[in-house]
Structure 1
Amino acid sequence: MSKHDSRDHFEYLLPISWKSQVTAWLAEDTPSYDYGGFVVGEAEREAFLLGKGSQVAVLAGEPFFTEVFSQLGCQVEWHMQEGDTFEPVKHVATVRGKVRHILLGERVALNLLARCSGIATKSKQIKDLARSYGYKGIIAGTRKTTPGFRLVEKYGMLVGGIDPHRHDLSSMIMLKDNHIWSSGSITRAIQQARKVGGFSLLLEVEVGSEEEADEAIDAGADIIMLDNMEGDQLVQVTRRLREKWNGKRKFQFESSGNITDANLQERAINEIDILSTSVVHQSVQHIDFSLKIQKPKDQ
């Protein structure tokens, strides 16, 4: 089996609406006249996509990049697979088409690829770091994504090898402190949510203490998010609760809140099933790409 055939085709996950988002991004970038396009005309050219910067990076966002140029009548030939790592400077792909159309899509395509690859790169770094500490659980992102760009950012997490967590408010029932305060108690909030969520949705509850976690487990929560709980407290609380509820309830523990590279080791304990962090997508360094039009060989 070839490497291409054995890889994960994450583009197959994309919803039917995703191509219309690309259309909207292109429309946003050229709302009126394309003055630069008037200058260059429609000669057929090819452009090299170069991966630059100063770090080893993960390539992510191929479907979005390709679709930008497909909508402009150009073709993209990839020279590496999505999810592969590369060292700069790397000739990642070649774009062929009318020079005016290549330049129409240049900035939109590069921005998509830079952001998506940056998230994939950081996701892989965090996962690899957690594994180096012996952590065997799930590393996940969060829903603290950019409005209108969530699809690309969650896609980057997948390519980087982590769990994207819930995509929206309909993906899973998550009851946080505001839900609980507004409904009156953890137990009441869970009971109300179960009435409408049915059997097919997992129910997660954010708690700030062992007592709240105990109540959530007793009320039937599937996942207990131990928010901003760290160190020995985190270990002792999870151990006591697992011992108390052993054989009585099935649940998972998630740790979230201010998880970074610097404190990951103390949070990456196997008493915790899920570590969720926004460090993999908020304020993440983008990967530097450029698109260079090539001169015809006879010039």
Structure 2
Amino acid sequence: MHICVKLLDEIIAGAIKEDVGTGDLTTMITVPEGAVTEGYIYAKEKGIIAGTWVAERVFYFLSSEIKFTYQKKDGDRVNRGDVIAVVAGPAGPILTGERVALNIIQRLSGIATQTAAITDKLKGFGSIVVDTRKTTPGLRVLEKYAVTVGGGRNHRFGLYDGILIKDNHIKVAGGIANAVAMARAKAPHTLKVEVEVETREGVLEALEAGADIIMLDNMDFEAVSEAVRLINRRAQVEVSGGVTEDTVEGYARAGADIISIGALTNSVKALDISLDVKEIKIGS
């Protein structure tokens, strides 16, 4: 997954502005001019690492003299105490960038870890796990990247790159058939049309309307199994709504092609990661 440097720098600049503002008072007061240091970014619990290169970019953004040496790469599994990277250089910028860098790598690693735990449960099944638009404002591209590090895939990135007709669209359009017909008439032929349904009747309406993907929202295993039988490969089947690590395998067994999980990004626990400065040297 490619993330352009310009967009990444905009995210980093915003995060640094939020945290540093007009200056890091504590560092300016307590760190001698010319001080250099070496520190270790390390895991305090086991998980999957993601966002190391973003953390490197944070430090580079503050000082091009900081050397960032990788000990682990994105996608690596770590245990408590494992060193992820070594940072060395001017002490001031390292301490100023510490929290922003850690916030990003902790959150992305948490997303990758949760995604991996879920995708591991689906080995041997034909289902894929995808994320949703339930992301942190301004961080969507990074959070969706972290999902791919954990072995998941991305749903649409925004409202601009996919058609997903949900319950409110259906109400305003006057029904599933009308909504799908309008989508077919106005949308590029290269885009698939996905429809969210909540009932057996909705499944049949979406099929009749010619939906490419039918999203089964908040259905139990039995209802999903019946819907899969009714659809009979005439459309892809997506399951969504309250799916957890404990229930995802059941939906795969029921025949879902795609399982979308908002909790991958909207309520994930950050991985516990720290930066420990080992030594301070005063430059000549």
User: Fold conserved (TM > 0.5)?
Assistant: yes
Matched with 1:51 is 43
Tell me by how many angstroms 1:296 deviates: 5.0
Q: Distance in 1 between matches of 2:47 and 2:196?
A: 34
Q: Which residue of 1 aligns with 2:202?
A: 212
1:94 aligned onto 2:86: yes
Alignment counterpart, residue 68 of structure 2, candidates 76, 80, 99: 76
Whole-Å separation in 1 of the counterparts to 2:95 and 2:84: 18
Rounded to whole Å, the distance in 2 between the matches of 1:15 and 1:139 is: 27
**Alpha-carbon spacing, 1:182–1:158, altered in 2? closer, same or farther (3 Å):** same
Q: Which residue of 1 aligns with 2:163?
A: 173
Determine which of 125, 129, 137 is the counterpart of 2:121: 129
Q: Is the 8 A contact 1:135 1:270 kept in 2?
A: no
Distance 1:37 1:297, change over 3 A: closer
Partner Cα distance (1:40, 1:122) in 2: 38
Distance 1:240 1:106 in 2: 54
Aligned twin of 1:238 = 228
The 10-residue stretch of structure 1 (112-121 or 156-165) with the greater mean CA deviation from structure 2: 156-165
Q: Which amino acid aligns with 2:157?
A: H
Range moving further from structure 2, 13-22 or 114-123: 13-22
Which of 47, 50, 66 lines up with 2:56 in the alignment? 66
Q: Give secondary structure in 1 for the equivalent of 2:253.
A: coil
Tell me the distance in 2 between the aligned counterparts of 1:76 and 1:150: 25
Residue 24 of structure 1 corresponds to 14
| Partner Cα distance (1:265, 1:174) in 2 | 24
Superposed, which structure 2 residues align to 1:1-299 within 5 Å? Answer: 10=1, 12-14=2-4, 16-38=6-28, 39-41=30-32, 42-53=34-45, 56-73=46-63, 74-131=66-123, 134-242=124-232, 250-269=234-253, 271-295=255-279
The 8 Å contact of residues 224 and 254 in structure 1, kept in 2 or not, is answered as yes
Residue identity in the other structure for 1:276: S
> Cα distance, 1:187 vs. partner?
1.1
- Whole-angstrom CA distance in 2 between matches of 1:15 and 1:101: 21
Give the whole-Å Cα distance in 2 for the aligned partners of 1:233 and 1:91: 47
Report how far residue 14 of structure 1 moved: 4.0
Between stretches 118-127 and 74-83, larger displacement belongs to: 74-83
- For 1:276 and 1:253, the matched residues in 2 are separated by 11
> Per-residue displacement from partner, 1:66-85 (whole Å, max 9, x unpaired)?
11011111221101121010
Q: Secondary structure at the match of 1:206?
A: strand
* Stretch moving more, 91-100 or 194-203: 194-203
What is the number of equivalent residue pairs in this alignment?
278
Asked whether the equivalents of residues 211 and 235 of structure 2 are also in contact (C-alpha less than 8 Å), the reply is yes
- 4+ residue stretches of structure 1 with deviation over 4 A? none
Offset at 1:270?
5.7
Asked whether the equivalents of residues 60 and 82 of structure 1 are also in contact (C-alpha less than 8 Å), the reply is yes
The residue type paired with residue 256 of structure 2 is I
SS in 2 for 1:269: helix
Gaps of 5+ in 2: none
2:178 & 2:99 partners in 1: Cα distance?
Answer: 50
**RMSD after superposition:** 1.8
Q: Distance between the aligned counterparts of 1:101 and 1:152, measured in 2? A: 23
Q: Identity over aligned residues, as a percent?
A: 36
> What's the CA shift for 1:284?
1.5
Task: For residues 200-247 of structure 1, give each alpha carbon's deviation from its aligned partner in whole angstroms, at most 9, with x where no partner exists.
Answer: 2221100112222222122221110011111222112211221xxx6x
Could you state the TM-score of these two structures normalised by the residue count of structure 1? 0.88
